[in-house]
Structure 1
Amino acid sequence: MSEQGNGNALLVAESALNTLPLVYDVPFTYRDFTPLVMFAQDSRMVVASSDAPYETCAELIEASQDQTVKTGSSGRTGADSLVTAEFERSGGQFSVVPYGSTGEVLTGLLGGQIEVAPASAASAKPYVESGDFKALCTLSEERYDDPVLGDVPTAVEQGLDAEVTIWRGVLAPDGIAPVQRDYWIDSILEAMESDTYHDYIRDDLLIPAVLAGEEFEEYLAEHDEQMAEVFQ
């Protein structure tokens, strides 16, 4: 924000830019920046210890209606909190233990401090592969194209109206010149054609996405309305 008008400053951000102002008293919204390019989307999956009494997210929600289930969350405004919100809308009841990062959430699950954990697919995959955790569902629109996680059904496949998709993108300060915005959009789109970008998408199990300029801005406005409904 302090770099207003500076065409040489960039901000890499994600959906927390929409949700932070809904939960905390912060002096900004996404409207205080210049959207450039959304370069990926991310989702979440839900894992539990290998001996947990449920095999699916549908069974988890059903079990939580009789006894509150303890889950972890890396922050009050991130993707983890969106998973909990979606499950509570489906009738679940959860006691949320806050952690500072996804790694801490998964460590808490390993140590038995919590019973289930939402996490990024890339973070959860090693534990699923080792057998420490079992995957209950993904919150993505489609199953992951991955040899380890490809058999994990989506929440929608299990009859739940629950989907979590967050954006990752690049923004510039407010007030930059149109020629500066166009320069960065073209440069970022060119970078997205590189092997480095494709390796990043594959290794982090992200969803490829390309929205630039006004299309990205329109997406942010729609996403903001959706997040306002979740966090109201």
Structure 2
Amino acid sequence: MTMRRDHFLKTLAALAAAGVLPLPARAQAPANLKMMIPANPGGGWDLTGRALGKALQDAGAAASVSFDNKGGAAGAIGLAQFANASKGDPHALMVMGAVMLGGIITGKPPVSLNQATPLARLTSEYNVFVLPANSPLKSMADVIEQMKRDPGSVKWGGGSRGSTEHIAAAMIARAVGVDPSKINYVAFRGGGEAIAAVLGGNVTVGGSGYSEFAEYIKTGRMRPIGVTSETRLKGIDVPTLKEQGVDVVIGNWRGVYGAGGITPEQRKALTDLVVKATRSKSWAEALERNGWTPALMVGAEFEAFVDREFASLRAVMAKSGMI
């Protein structure tokens, strides 16, 4: 009996080592994951991707995480590289969000989000508009007044064309009776470039997720003049656009996708790793530090959410004269 049991255990060990047993039957060693960040360093996707990578390691869900930054075209350049190079790779992740959807709608790139696999929505964040500290304008009312006089004289700086801050600028124009197609929007490839443009006074108004501007707001180098949330953000003393009489609310969510061509089992395994990471202390600290609202959503629910977002963003952008 003991011989037979020993033989059975040895066979089981050999099968596990050969990777023949189904996943639950063998203890999964934490994987080495690769993360595509389809933006330049310093922006919201970069912050999100690196915070998730750290949380995956801290939670024991990954042995290591390597990062690849590839900015441009609202994430379409990174998405194209990810779709081509990572097909079928169960260890590949890509950060994405509302901005990528907007970019696909305006830019109509040859690559599609259907070439990657939806895993999870991670966070929601609202945009904040800021003025350089030395700007002669002091408030959103001042910006609107100047825009009404001469729309082109107000340079709005932010992420790529079709980003939530671009859509918000067009929505503000429309809400105050200015032709949104006349706004002067300057797109940057990453948060770092947008920050430099605001600090250098090369744009009139900067727009971004609060996390990207937070340290400059705290040190007084940027003056926040409005957030795109429904109500004021917790612990952040910035009036909403709504309370200033401008009826504009728009959120900027971020999520993570896997490679195209992975199996349903691999998709579930990757999603489970991401969910495990979001339960870590490291992730909770990143949420707190960056002013992100946790907005975890996975599986079919997340997939349906992305489809709805495409439709609603397209409608808003059409109404605002952007497409």
TM-score when normalising by structure 2: 0.64
Mapped pair 1:184 → 2:286 = no
In structure 1, runs of 5+ residues without a counterpart are: none
Measured in 2, the distance between the counterparts of 1:172 and 1:130 equals 38
- 3-state SS, counterpart of residue 157 of structure 1: helix
> Residues 4 and 112 of structure 1: is their aligned pair in 2 closer, same or farther, counting only changes over 3 Å?
closer
Asked whether the equivalents of residues 232 and 240 of structure 2 are also in contact (C-alpha less than 8 Å), the reply is yes
> Residues 58 and 222 of structure 1: is their aligned pair in 2 closer, same or farther, counting only changes over 3 Å?
farther
RMSD: 2.2
- 3-state SS, counterpart of residue 65 of structure 1: helix
Mapped pair 1:219 → 2:290 = no
- The 5 A counterparts of 1:1-232 are 1-2=83-84, 3-50=86-133, 52=135, 54-68=137-151, 69-90=154-175, 91-92=177-178, 94-146=183-235, 150-229=236-315, 230=317, 231-232=322-323
> Residues 177 and 197 of structure 1: is their aligned pair in 2 closer, same or farther, counting only changes over 3 Å?
same
For residues 14-64 of structure 1, the C-alpha deviation after alignment (integer angstroms, 9 at most, x for no partner) is: 223312222224222323322111111222100113454555434522431
- 3-state SS, counterpart of residue 44 of structure 1: strand
Match of 2:41 in 1: none
- 3-state SS, counterpart of residue 134 of structure 1: strand
Asked whether the equivalents of residues 7 and 176 of structure 1 are also in contact (C-alpha less than 8 Å), the reply is yes
Measured in 1, the distance between the counterparts of 2:139 and 2:201 equals 19
Measured in 2, the distance between the counterparts of 1:6 and 1:128 equals 41
Measured in 2, the distance between the counterparts of 1:6 and 1:110 equals 41
Asked whether the equivalents of residues 100 and 163 of structure 2 are also in contact (C-alpha less than 8 Å), the reply is no
Measured in 2, the distance between the counterparts of 1:132 and 1:172 equals 38
State the 1:203 CA deviation: 1.5
> Residues 130 and 9 of structure 1: is their aligned pair in 2 closer, same or farther, counting only changes over 3 Å?
closer
The range that moved more, 160-169 or 191-200, is 160-169
Measured in 1, the distance between the counterparts of 2:240 and 2:98 equals 21
Measured in 2, the distance between the counterparts of 1:124 and 1:56 equals 17
Measured in 2, the distance between the counterparts of 1:144 and 1:21 equals 29
Q: Which has the higher contact order (CA 8 A, sep 6+)?
A: 1
State the 1:157 CA deviation: 2.0
TM-score when normalising by structure 1: 0.87
Match of 2:61 in 1: none
Measured in 1, the distance between the counterparts of 2:259 and 2:217 equals 40
State the 1:189 CA deviation: 1.0
